Amino acid sequence: MARKIENFFRAPYAVPNGLQVTDEGLWIVDQVTDRVALVEIAEASGYGVTKLIRDIPSESSNTSGLAYGDGVLWLAVNGAGGQWRTARPTDAQQGEIIKVHPQTGETLQRYPIPDGGGTHGVEYDHYEEGYLWVETLKNQVLHKVRISDWSVQHTIPLPYGRAHGVVRVEDGIWVIHTSERVIVKLDLEDGTELDRIEVPDPHPEPHGLSIFGEDFLYCDAASGWVAKITL
Going from N- to C-terminal start, the domains of the chain cover 4-230
Q: Is the pLDDT of residue 111 over 60?
A: yes
Percent of the chain having pLDDT more than 70?
A: 98
Indicate the SS3 state at residue 72.
Answer: strand
Percent of the chain having pLDDT more than 90?
A: 90
pLDDT confidence of 71, banded at 50, 70, 90?
very high
**Using CA atoms, how far apart are residues 99 and 67, in angstroms rounded to an integer?**
10
CATH of 4-230 among 2.120.10.30, 1.20.810.10, 3.40.50.300, 3.90.950.20: 2.120.10.30
pLDDT of residue 84: 82
pLDDT confidence of 48, banded at 50, 70, 90?
confident
In our burial notation (b when 16+ CB lie closer than 10 A, e otherwise), range 18-39 reads: bbbbeeebbbbbbbbbbbbbbb
The DSSP element (H or E) to which 229 belongs, if any, is strand 225-230
pLDDT in tens, 173-191: 999 999 999 999 999 999 9
pLDDT of residue 2: 74
pLDDT confidence of 74, banded at 50, 70, 90?
very high
pLDDT of residue 49: 73
pLDDT in tens, 77-107: 998 887 888 999 999 989 999 999 999 999 9
**Using CA atoms, how far apart are residues 72 and 67, in angstroms rounded to an integer?**
9
Nearest to 141 by CA among 190, 181, 94, 98: 190
Task: Name 48's bridge partners.
Answer: 43
**Using CA atoms, how far apart are residues 110 and 102, in angstroms rounded to an integer?**
15
pLDDT in tens, 132-162: 999 999 999 999 999 999 999 999 999 999 9
- Range list of β-strands (E), 70-192: 72-78, 95-100, 107-112, 122-124, 131-136, 141-146, 151-157, 163-169, 172-177, 182-186
**Can the peptide bond before residue 114 be classed as cis, meaning omega within 30 degrees of 0?**
no
**Using CA atoms, how far apart are residues 183 and 121, in angstroms rounded to an integer?**
13
The rounded mean pLDDT for the chain is: 95
pLDDT in tens, 112-128: 999 999 999 999 999 99
